[in-house]
Structure 1
């Protein structure tokens, strides 16, 4: 992985006008992308060079070659957003995983033609899918597997294998790739000064180090990470409940970014941008501040009400309740809708195991009411 460069701002451009355009560009569609967009407001010269050098990128196009779905060709765009659970480096504080990183969170972000509407499809990490043969990072090839856990693709072959697996699953070409790990996510939330939200019930999960009373909170990085990782503190303890918490937190994070007024504080803005660009790994197509800002500008008209967040329709595997599998007809309808650049019909989501989980109701927007005192 390496940092890549990008073009400087055009000479003679109005700084105030550029900042206003960038401010409009903050309407990005996934929790990692929300932080990344801030990087583009960091100015030129040393600041631009610093932020640009922070970004790590991988050449997924070169790794995958030509055996891929064709691009939609109408201006629509599909982005695979992953949160990785690597325990290497600074992430060792979150436990041990035997040396293999996995994709703890996975979202396919579909920006419709004109980028005025978006659909975000979460893929449960425990979903059994066909994993194609993939090159291993240290040489050799991991053979194809018919019923492999979805998150094992990243473990055996890194970002390129994750993208190849998603493309085989969906029939969609992933135009871009964004990844953030535990430490990067935590640091980004801290750089934003925390994220306000309300919990409608207490959440206790020693495994994710989360201990929240019912009420309003401003979550710091550790608490936010605990919230998006917890699966034992709410609902049925499955990954499906955790996904709903992640989707609810994404909305709270987007509200936080929009409400901070970062442009009035250059020091705060640089701190957030520096953290955001250090937190991500992208494909080379997004591997510079300029390229990230181009994406941000393309979604400047996207409203929060035009972002439809869904979970891939799945059912529990009868022989193992810790695993799920796509419901063939319903999953096919979801991916067909995106390939046709149309909204996902509600009928495709009914009857899914995710449809019977109400963990998303546990987290809502900040009400301004303090959390009850502990006794």
Structure 2
């Protein structure tokens, strides 16, 4: 669709250069051509005053019409010019950076459609005076350089735009950060093992590469938002309604609310999304859930009647968004951002699923976490463009965005395969085993060398394990003619010389294993964006401190009666 400002602006430019119809044209000596209105008046006088008198109303009408025409032209020019100015103004607000191909690439479905995966990052940077004031911590250091990604969400929009999944990655997750170099600051790293949110210090593209490496999910785009950005966006939508299950005062983020529903704007909204001591167990895990409640409410506000049809509201949103966001080059224009918003708007709220990556305690640090059971299945579900809800909005037992599938007798996460290399190519078994675990198969999948060279790839299964073998074969594109029942137990895949490269069997038609929704959302705190009555669960533990005394957030609220609430 053409940009709404393109047409009028182009017409206005042409109208300025065109000669007005009926304009007088002077001769070289400065004399006027005979005729025209002067000649007509003279002729009228020669014919008598009566006829000349009758002609006056016609002259007035012409003047009125000409005046209206000029007025309309001015309105058109001014309106078109304003539209073009707004368009250029919004484009000028946008700050975009290159991803440098670090996020991988999406695969099209059978109809040529591709899903969209966006990494949304909330930066904790105090890189300007406004963010220092909002985030605090600059009294000793002053304005800082660098930042961490304290909020990370992978936003997946399906290829057919029928569903979406939002997966939060806790900031305390330990992982491997790859070699990176920030295109703006020049700061670089050769790679290290550390907290996932620290990758942003080497630029947004590095944070994208780290998440892609951890999850296997291709990341097409990124959106980065700072403290002041949250304030601007919440103000632009007129506030976001949220609910808390009890009185809460987080003495760290300064969020203070009484039990019930509140509409938060500006700094109050920022305090809510930053609060990690007020909700859940007082960790980043509880914060991701409250952030999902906030985002669900904001999405419902965007979709509510009138929000996206009011030109003033739309401009306010666009102006706030373009000022607040840093994006990749693929989203670096108003047209592209509008197109993305339209794609999101196509997805019903009941089919937008919010999840948090499953974690387990880091054995080396009790204050950190690592990827937990079920997370690889959740990763695979997103990477394979599979939905976590059905068309009715209920949790899916096995739904794909583009194809119907039946639930396997045994979930993929419970299927372990012994992969043996029967080729002369080093690493073939490891490559296939990795492809299986990336699709959500059990981490108990192992590798070995085949007892002897094999010319044909075979998948041998034990008694009553044909269903599992079929699921494996489908995931790898291995024809069923390569399956055979053995006398032992378990599944053994022998890679033959007929499959010397790649992770999909040559000539086969591989497709992702059916979505194992139960495992994908198990422990992921799944919710959908239509749950308007959801309340953030206030922590029952002594997670905050007031005047040096440890308290629960509700106790702190009662003890700080004199402090105004965040929605005042």
8 Å CA contact 2:167, 2:354 repeated in 1: yes
Give distance in 2, aligned partners of 1:61 and 1:7: 28
Q: CA deviation at 1:138?
A: 3.1
Identify which of 176, 185, 209 aligns with 2:221: 176
Identify which of 87, 92, 110 aligns with 2:132: 92
Q: CA deviation at 1:325?
A: 0.5
8 Å CA contact 1:133, 1:141 repeated in 2: yes
| SS, match of residue 49 in structure 1 | helix
Identify which of 43, 53, 57 aligns with 2:92: 53
Q: CA deviation at 1:135?
A: 0.9
Is 1:166–2:211 an aligned residue pair?
yes
Identify which of 363, 368, 372 aligns with 1:323: 368
8 Å CA contact 1:58, 1:284 repeated in 2: yes
Give distance in 1, aligned partners of 2:229 and 2:275: 18
8 Å CA contact 2:105, 2:220 repeated in 1: no
Identify which of 289, 304, 321 aligns with 1:244: 289
Is 1:73–2:126 an aligned residue pair?
no
Give distance in 1, aligned partners of 2:187 and 2:233: 35
Unaligned residue ranges in structure 2 (runs of 5+): 9-81, 139-143, 389-516, 527-532, 538-557, 563-568
What corresponds to 2:148 in structure 1?
Answer: 102
8 Å CA contact 2:164, 2:353 repeated in 1: yes
Unaligned residue ranges in structure 1 (runs of 5+): 1-5, 13-42, 365-371
8 Å CA contact 2:5, 2:84 repeated in 1: no
Give distance in 2, aligned partners of 1:273 and 1:71: 28
Q: CA deviation at 1:246?
A: 0.2
TM-score, with structure 1 as normaliser: 0.78
What corresponds to 2:186 in structure 1?
Answer: 139
RMSD between aligned residues: 2.6
8 Å CA contact 1:121, 1:310 repeated in 2: yes
Q: In the superposition, relative to structure 1, how do residues 293 and 46 fare at CA in structure 2: closer, same or farther (>3 Å)?
A: same
TM-score, with structure 2 as normaliser: 0.53
What corresponds to 1:309 in structure 2?
Answer: 354
Q: CA deviation at 1:293?
A: 1.4
| SS, match of residue 254 in structure 1 | helix
1:276-302 Cα offsets, whole Å, 9 max, x none, are 211111111110110111222334421
Relative contact order, higher structure (CA 8 A, sep 6+): 1
Q: CA deviation at 1:153?
A: 0.4
| SS, match of residue 172 in structure 1 | coil
Identify which of 285, 288, 297 aligns with 2:330: 285
Q: CA deviation at 1:110?
A: 1.0
Q: CA deviation at 1:179?
A: 1.1
Matching of residues 1-375 of structure 1 within 5 Å:
9=5, 11=7, 44-61=83-100, 64=102, 69-74=104-109, 75-89=114-128, 90-93=130-133, 94-96=135-137, 99-136=145-182, 137-139=184-186, 141-146=188-193, 148-155=194-201, 157-259=202-304, 261-262=306-307, 265-327=310-372, 330-344=374-388, 345-351=517-523, 362-363=535-536
Q: In the superposition, relative to structure 1, how do residues 273 and 351 fare at CA in structure 2: closer, same or farther (>3 Å)?
A: closer
Give distance in 1, aligned partners of 2:309 and 2:329: 31
Q: CA deviation at 1:121?
A: 0.8
Give distance in 2, aligned partners of 1:212 and 1:270: 31
8 Å CA contact 2:163, 2:352 repeated in 1: yes
Say which structure is richer in helix.
1
Query: Bigger radius of gyration, 1 or 2?
Result: 2
Give distance in 2, aligned partners of 1:263 and 1:113: 24
Give distance in 1, aligned partners of 2:262 and 2:277: 20
Give distance in 1, aligned partners of 2:238 and 2:342: 25
Give distance in 2, aligned partners of 1:278 and 1:350: 38
Q: Which moved more, 1:161-170 or 1:70-79?
A: 70-79
